[in-house]
Amino acid sequence: MVKINGEEENLAGMNLAKCIEEHGYTTKWIVVEINEEIIPKEKYKDITIKDNDVIEVVSFVGGG
């Protein structure tokens, strides 16, 4: 199991870029952290999520 934004999901073995897409995030407006390490956007396609990873996706919201 993997924890993403505090929720446990069965995502082990999934590519990070696909995971982000399936969760409906737009990469332009997010920062992804895995196990307390910020992942550069250009690395999303190269990372396979592992069992027990802790993923945090932070979205930016504009205001006025």
pLDDT digit string, tens, across residues 11-62: 999 999 999 999 999 898 899 999 999 999 999 999 999 999 999 999 887 7
Sign of the dihedral through C-alpha 16, 21, 27, 29: negative
Strand residue runs (E) in 1-64 = 2-4, 7-9, 30-34, 37-39, 54-59
Residue 64: is its pLDDT beyond 70?
no
- The Cα angle at residue 55 between residues 44 and 41, in degrees rounded to 5: 25
- Domains (range + CATH), the chain: 1-9+25-64 (3.10.20.30)
